[in-house]
A and B are shown apart, each in its own frame.
Chain A
Amino acid sequence: MFDQLDQIFVTLKHLVMGFVPAAWQPLVSALIAIVLILVVFPTLFALVTVIERKGLGRMQNRYGPNRVGIPFTKIRLCGFGQFIPDGIKSLTKEDIVPRAADKVVHFLAPVVMMVPVMLAYAVLPFGKNMSITDYDAGLLFFFAVGGAVELSVFMAGWSSRNKYSLLGAMRAIAQMVSYEIPLILSAVTVVMVVGSLNLNAIIAHQNHYTFGIAHWHVFTPWGLVGFILFFIASLAESNRTPFDLPEAESEIIAGYFTEYSGFKFALFFLGEYLGMFAIIGLGITLFLGGWTSPVSFLTWIPSYVWFFTKLMAIVFVFIWIRATLPRLRMDQLMNFTWKFMLPLALINILVAGIWHYMAADWQRWLVCSAIIFGAYAILGRGLMQNQNFGKRIYRYAE
């Protein structure tokens, strides 16, 4: 019974495809997949904006939005209907384009951001047999479309003819390009151990259970370090705190989308959150087992429930980090990635290789953990050398 529940969406899709003549089947199949993605993920985005505001509020010792229910009715949802008025406000606001702006590029920038972000969902496996395309090089496809988002950031910043926008765009591109490297290198360790770029094969590699606990990559030393590096790099790729210098309100108004209002701003906002979900989805697939369950006695829960549970758990951790950590300055950002994360990612690749070739007992745990801990200690000490944290010195204006 639970197997049928697990595959219910696949069965429904096959049922619908049975009614369609054979020549139209690829087109209808693609259309169904596109419509499903366009319905599920923006709804998730709307919910996550409300959860984020309420969550941030509670962590800052205040209530978030707690009154709006469904508009025009008397149903109270404790604030979870906030996204409906927000959406209506964004859609009906006046669309202001600066007079000196480059109109074509200004118009195309949100489009160029949305298209690669939506494309990235095509390779993620949301459940068992539930990925839209099964490319042999699926992981490479994901990183390729992730790189195309940077071009849209530049288009947005440059076409606004605004110094703050341009500065925010250059900072955002520098940050995204720099953090792409630890992101890709930490994914390379997974590829090296699994031996394939296919995301379904990566999940199948993690779908075994010893003593009831799954063989997720995060339960190995190199996987844990890889997951932490991937997590930090995905925070930076989504421009979330503590890496949101390019778009923070107290820094640069809104960075590269300062001059956007109304629907285009809503598209940028949507694109950013959808990008966040996509990259968290990839992290879940690579390190947390995708749609598999962590313990063998819970495999009866449907696979898509596991995927979305893990997604929401990591989104909650993202919100938690946003409420807790202060923002990094640009040079601190750059130092962190080039001098700490990149060497650690390279050493992680070495450790993954050692793990693969040593025999499967306690010695390889010891050796790999010792190498990683030593590398972390040395790199951390190297980064902290120039910081002289002593007693606070006050300098007053004369």
Chain B
Amino acid sequence: MSPFFIITGIVTLLGAAFAMSLRNLVHCVLAMAVAFSGIAALYLQLDAQFVGFAEILVYVGAIAILIVFAILLTRSGKAPEKSVLTSGAWTSVILIPVFFGVLAWAILHSSAVPKDLPPAPVATVKNVGDALMTKFVLPLEIIGLVLTAAMIGAVIIALKEDSQKPKSEDGGQQ
């Protein structure tokens, strides 16, 4: 493994660790953006150029901005005074390293891992386009439908309600 790979991996994991442990939410989001860029660099090293660029475009360029806007709209920009952990935090802190240990053991001792390195695949944009239009055309159409539904749904859920509905008083007396 080249040193570049190790450095990219460490940057990604540090970014993810900071994203989940900082107190200030905006710092968390910025650390998450660093983690996403690290993952994009890893994709580029794995000869998946299109996916790497798409990751930066989708995650850093769109999802991180979306989360930032949600932080601003829910007024969570200030650092919280109380504890940031849930009530069930301590059980997770014990169980998650066990979970990772099991996964790591399975990875390192698995027989499904091939011993030799295959040659680099040629994933040109033309091949991706051909595959999308011939073999994977049904998922392509379905994902168009899903994205449209998600967009309309998100707009409707987050829409401000203008009508002043009178609060029903007998709902609380039953």
Contacts and interface: CB of A to CB of B under 8 A. Distances in A.
B19 interface: no
Interface stretch (A145-153, A232-240, A350-358): A145-153
B125 A136 contact: yes
Contact of A196 (B57, B69, B125): B125
Interface stretch (B25-33, B142-150, B157-165): B25-33
B101 interface: no
A206 B125 CA distance: 20
A154 interface: yes
Interface residues of A, number: 26
A173 B60 CA distance: 13
Interface stretch (B5-13, B46-54, B102-110): B46-54
Contact of B61 (A148, A170, A197, A198): A148
A158 interface: yes
A140 interface: yes
B68 interface: yes
A137 B125 contact: yes
Given A136-B124, A196-B126, A147 B57 contact: yes
A155 B53 contact: no
Given A136-B125, A140-B50, A177-B65, A147 B30 contact: no
A144 interface: yes
Interface string B56-75: 11001110110011001000
Interface string A116-144: 00000000000000000001110011011
A140 B72 CA distance: 29
Q: Name B's interface SS.
A: helix
A7 B129 CA distance: 34
A137 B49 contact: yes
Given A147-B57, A148-B56, A151-B64, A197 B125 contact: yes
Interface string A203-234: 00000000000000000000000000000000
Contacts of B30: 105, 151, 155
Nearest to B60: A148
A144 B65 contact: no
Interface string B13-49: 0000000000000110010010000000000000001
B53 to A, nearest CB: 4
Nearest to A147: B61
Nearest to A149: B61
B77 interface: yes
A375 B65 CA distance: 32
Contact of A144 (B26, B33, B54, B72): B54
Contacts of B26: 102, 105, 158
Nearest to A154: B68
Given A105-B26, A105-B27, A158-B26, A140 B54 contact: yes
Contact of A137 (B53, B62, B65, B69): B53
Nearest to A104: B27
Contacts of A148: 56, 60-61
B65 A150 contact: yes
Nearest to B124: A136
Interface string A181-199: 0000000000000011110
A144 B56 CA distance: 6
A147 B56 contact: yes
Contacts of B61: 144, 146-148, 150-151
B50 A137 contact: yes
B134 to A, nearest CB: 16
A112 to B, nearest CB: 9
A151 B125 contact: no
Contacts of A166: 72
A102 B72 CA distance: 16
A367 to B, nearest CB: 25
A278 to B, nearest CB: 16
A177 B77 CA distance: 21
A145 B52 CA distance: 12
Contact of A135 (B49, B69, B77, B126): B49
B159 to A, nearest CB: 15
A151 B124 contact: no
Interface string A158-181: 100000001000100100010000
Nearest to A166: B72
Contacts of A105: 26-27, 30
Contacts of B56: 144-145, 147-148
B161 to A, nearest CB: 21
Interface in A51-106: 102, 105
Contacts of B60: 144, 147-148, 151
A146 B57 CA distance: 8
Nearest to B51: A137
8 contacts: A140-B54, A140-B125, A144-B60, A147-B57, A147-B62, A151-B33, A154-B65, A158-B26
Given A105-B27, A135-B49, A196-B126, 14 more contacts: A105-B26, A136-B50, A140-B125, A144-B53, A147-B61, A147-B62, A151-B30, A151-B33, A151-B65, A155-B30, A173-B68, A173-B69, A177-B65, A196-B125
Interface pairs A-B: 9 shortest CB-CB: A147-B61, A144-B56, A144-B57, A140-B53, A144-B53, A197-B125, A141-B53, A137-B50, A136-B124
